Amino acid sequence: MSSSENRSTVTVEESAPALDLPIASTPAAAAHDLNDSSLYIHRELSQLQFNIRVLEQALDERKPILERLKFLLIFSSNMDEFFEIRVAGLKSQIAFDHEIVGPDGISPRRVLAEISEIAHKQIERQYTILNERVLPELDRQGIRIVRRNEWSHKQKLWVRRYFRHEVAPLITPIGLDPTHPFPLLVNKSLNFIVQLEGVDAFGRDSGLAIVPAPRVLPRLIRLPDDVCSGGDNFVLLSSIIHAHTEELFPGMSVHGCYQFRLTRNADLTIDPEDVEDLARALRGELYSRRFGDAVRLEVADNCPKELTDYLLKQFGLTAAEMYEVNGPVNLSRLFGLIGKTDAPQLLYPPFTPAIPKTLKKAEDLFQVIGKQDVLLLHPYESFAPVVDLLHQAAKDPSVLAIKQTLYRSGANSEIVDALVDAARAGKEVTVVVELRARFDEESNLTLASRLQQAGAMVIYGVVGVKTHAKLMLIQRREGDELVRYAHMGTGNYHTGNARLYTDYSLLTSDQVLCEDVHKLFSQLTGMGKVLRMKKLLHAPFTLKKTLLDLIARETAHATAGRAAQIIAKINAITDPKIIRALYKASMAGVKIELIVRGMCCLRPGVPGVSHNIRVRSIVGRFLEHSRVYWFANNGDEQFYLASADLMERNLDRRVETGFPIESKKLQQRLKKELELYLSDNSSSWQLQPDGQYVRQHPAPGQGTRNVQSQLLEKICGVGASTEA
């Protein structure tokens, strides 16, 4: 299907929908009042806009079709979390009569109304893209999801056997009557509401039943080749159950069967003042997450109104919280199709992450890092040196102690394996495990137990303050000295994410910086006053203050007539103090370039206030995750990499770090890489004063520049990407 077909139904939009918020049209209108609510975008609406930019990727015909499907499904996953956390939080504020109005001045009720309007439009659009663009193109490539009305006789027989042998024994249909009230359904589980006629063996004739789909079964089943005419053919579990519903209710007539899915509040609420054992408290909360308050109902769009009204009443939801969809209600489960299909030509071409020359043939990583700092940019450069350093430390008899923070890593990761080996080898291993990493709590509980069993000292950080810093410290005896080596990163110690997320890693033996890392670990594991650090910035104590000071210094340079500039690459900016400081800098003449992947509450381009600020978002093959802060400082440039975004939670309520890059060679490299981001005209979206994001395109006569493709080519030697 060409991009010109079906224009009436699916439109390739060049900008995400505008946020319907007032803006200051003139400097006089704002009167330079930096508390003016019109200067701020609501954070949840901004997050929703990022999700829409992800959805837009599914329409980009320059991308391989299975990658377009991935983006469509990532949109589903993002929206699930958006409702589980963001929408659920707004509903809780209203329910508990504790409505919080931020700098944008928008009440939670109004935000929920705007979210509902935008989300309904975009979710409907998502299914249109799936049905009219993605599935037809997959079909042309020999990959099919075969619908019930398309099953051949052979396929019907095979599906019936599969249902009777694999599905039916695991299903528990629930008839609704006084002794079987409406069941408590698990968050995001696939269910069916069934209309029945007839009287059962016990004389019951309620007319309704619920059929929960077994969670242990795959949602996508591959049909064997001998019942198909070629290609890769799949059926959905929902189609199999739907086609055989009558077998679940023998002697009854089924008049309708409609799939639905309920999204619940999945945020964990733990009172830090009422927790004696954080691990035990979290285990209890993880169970309750599956049954939190209802926030959204997804239902098949052919479900009769009397049934949708019934479901809404059961869940305490309004019609505005129901989403009627033309397809499977659990789209995220289609990720299985990618793993079950052997079609590498329909995916991005593979690449091998590079190893820097200094590390390529190094047998002793300590010797290399002892001579110079090593900066890695993942995923273009391998995460293996970080893992190898830890493995080497575990085996090295000269290594006495290892200290590590873990936020997201996976219980069976190579990082945890190395820490276990080190502990078993008799090293002093201390690991600060953040149990409250959202949706990774269960994995972190498992890895904490595994480390404890190996003899490591496991600390759960500070109750009420998440430990989000990414730090590793190795202490090694070299002659008569105790020498320290450190790894600091902008991302997590997760080898899988290191292939999907862009992040920086610094390997260093700078003894001043390593001493600062040691002090931070001492603060986390022990007790005492804030320890003074010489180079490392750390939240919640010095990071925010220093960033504000650095912005103020650029403002002073501009006020004095000197050239002043700030470039920051971050995932989000929501902190009002930081935003006001950037507005002041802009008003003084500081040129500010912000590369913000997701939420941005700052409104750029407002005359007289933010006219010197540009905000762009990069959405591409890899999730942009690195945090980089650059200050021109009148020619004496300063670079910081950080684990923190410019959000209140990061700067005020988390343990975060910002670490300087002082090597001139590494500074030059960072500057060139930032310039590639700023020159991107292919995967870049620019935020407008009215809240719209407009996709950037090459100017007439200008070549296409895609930063991720350029970095792949420059660092990995990969040729031109399929994504122009």
Check residue 198 and give its pLDDT.
Answer: 75
Cα angle vertex 314, ends 311, 315, to 5°?
90
SS3 111: helix
* CA–CA distance, 675 with 671 (Å, rounded to integer): 6
Q: Which residues fall in the annotated binding site?
A: 78, 408, 438, 501, 597, 625
**In contact, 72 and 60? CB cutoff 8 Å:** no
Binding-site residues for Mg(2+) sit at: 408, 438
CATH topology of domain 357-535: Endonuclease; Chain A (3.30.870)
Q: Residue 566 carries which side chain, given as an amino acid letter? A: I
- Residue ranges covered by each domain of the chain: 27-59+64-137, 149-345, 357-535, 538-716
Quick one: pLDDT at residue 719? 67
Q: How would you classify residue 143: left for phi > 0, otherwise alpha for psi between -120 and 50, otherwise beta?
A: beta
Catalytic, out of 468, 494, 518, 538: 468
* CATH architecture assigned to 538-716: 2-Layer Sandwich (3.30)
Which amino acid appears at position 576 of this protein? P
CA distance 623 to 665: 26
What integer pLDDT is reported at residue 529 of this predicted model?
82
Query: Are residues 193 and 258 in contact, defined by beta-carbon separation less than 8 angstroms?
Result: yes
Cis peptide before 379 (omega within 30 of 0): yes
pLDDT in tens, 148-167: 999 999 999 999 999 999 99
Separation between Cα atoms, residue 713 and residue 715, nearest integer Å: 6
Q: What tokens appear for 67 in the block?
A: 């990658």
User: Cβ distance 303 to 310 under 8 Å?
Assistant: no
Asked, as a colleague might, if the bond just before 607 is cis with ω within 30 of 0, I would say no
Token pair for 700: 């007439």
pLDDT value for 290: 57
Render the burial of 451-489: b for 16+ CB within 10 Å, e for the rest.
beebebebbbbbeebbbbbbbbbbbbeeeeeebbbbbbb
CB 133 within 8 A of CB 143: no
The arrangement of secondary structure in 27-59+64-137, i.e. its CATH architecture, is: Up-down Bundle (1.20)
Which residues of the chain fall short of a pLDDT of 70? 1-31, 178-179, 200-205, 268-291, 410-411, 436-442, 444, 719-724
Rounded to an integer, what distance in angstroms lies between the CA atom of residue 392 and that of residue 84? 42
Question: Is 538-716 the same fold as 357-535?
Answer: yes
Q: Which of 417, 514, 433, 529 is nearest to 475 (CA)?
A: 514
Longest Cα–Cα distance of the chain, Å, equals 89
- Pairing between strand 232-236 and 220-222? antiparallel
The 3-state DSSP class for residue 461 equals: coil
| Spatial separation of the C-alpha atoms in residues 213 and 577, rounded to whole Å | 49
The label of the residue with tokens 């035990």 reads: 280
The CA dihedral of 310, 311, 316, 320, to the nearest 10 degrees, is -100
Architecture of domain 149-345: 2-Layer Sandwich (3.30)
Radius of gyration over alpha carbons of the chain, in Å? 27
Active-site annotation holds for 378: no
